[in-house]
Structure 1
Amino acid sequence: MHTFQELKQINDINSFIEEHELAFLFISREGCSVCHSLLPQVQQLLTDYPQITAVHIRAELVEEVASRFSIFTVPVLLLFVNGKEYIREARIVHLDLLEAKIKRIYKNVVGTD
């Protein structure tokens, strides 16, 4: 299973996005049952995409994350390619559709499935 490092400062999050060609953010809140059930499923899904570097952000610990990424609900899943947002999924996430989007982008960026 793909483990996600936890980032706790907005500067670290901004640096993470800049430093990784494929940067994935999983943003959640404590007490969100959807977040807690979805996280291990997304971690498992990303094992097939080793070039994607992923982090977990707890919105209650990094309050600036809501305004920085225009977040109004959780969970929010964001994929950045070379610093630009390509995927945004929020609240109800359909894993099969998410994977199809990731696969298409991954193939274009990395050149493999």
Structure 2
Amino acid sequence: MKKYTDVNTLEHVDHFIANHPLALLFISRTGCSVCHGLLPQVQELLEDYPEVQMGHVNADELEAIAGHFSIFTVPVILLFGDGKEYLREARIVHMDLFEEKLSKIYEGFLE
């Protein structure tokens, strides 16, 4: 399973995105059962995408993340390429569709 970095401050979030050409943020809450079920699936999927660095934000610990990225629900998956948001999935994430989108973006960045 792909390891992730716990990101605890907005400065750390911005630094994480700026310092990884392909950065994925997984935003969840402590009591969210959907979040807890989805996280390991995303980690497993990212094993096939070694250039994507994964960060995890607990919105209960960093409430300002909601305003920072205009997030209204969890879980949220944000994929950034060179600091720009390329993909946003929220609440109900269909893994096959997510992988299809991720694959296209990933291939574009490797070219």
Which category describes the TM-score, using the shorter chain as reference length? over 0.9
Q: Structure 1: any 5+ residue segments left out of the alignment?
A: none
Q: Structure 2: any 5+ residue segments left out of the alignment?
A: none
Instruction: After superposition, give the CA deviation of every residue in 1:2-29 in whole Å (9 maximum; x if it has no partner).
Output: 0111111110001111111000000000
Q: Is 1:10 aligned to 2:4, yes or no?
A: no
What does 1:53-68 correspond to in 2, within 5 Å? 53-68=53-68
**Separation in 2 of the partners of 1:20 and 1:70?**
22
**Separation in 1 of the partners of 2:20 and 2:5?**
14
What RMSD, in angstroms, separates the aligned Cα atoms of the two structures? Answer: 0.6
**Separation in 2 of the partners of 1:65 and 1:14?**
11
**Separation in 2 of the partners of 1:9 and 1:56?**
11
What does 1:79-98 correspond to in 2, within 5 Å? 79-98=79-98
TM-score normalised by L of structure 2: 0.98
Residue 44 of structure 1 aligns to which amino acid in structure 2?
Answer: E
What is the count of residue pairs matched by the alignment?
A: 111
Question: Runs in 1 of length 4+ with deviation above 6 angstroms?
Answer: none
Identity of aligned residues (%): 54
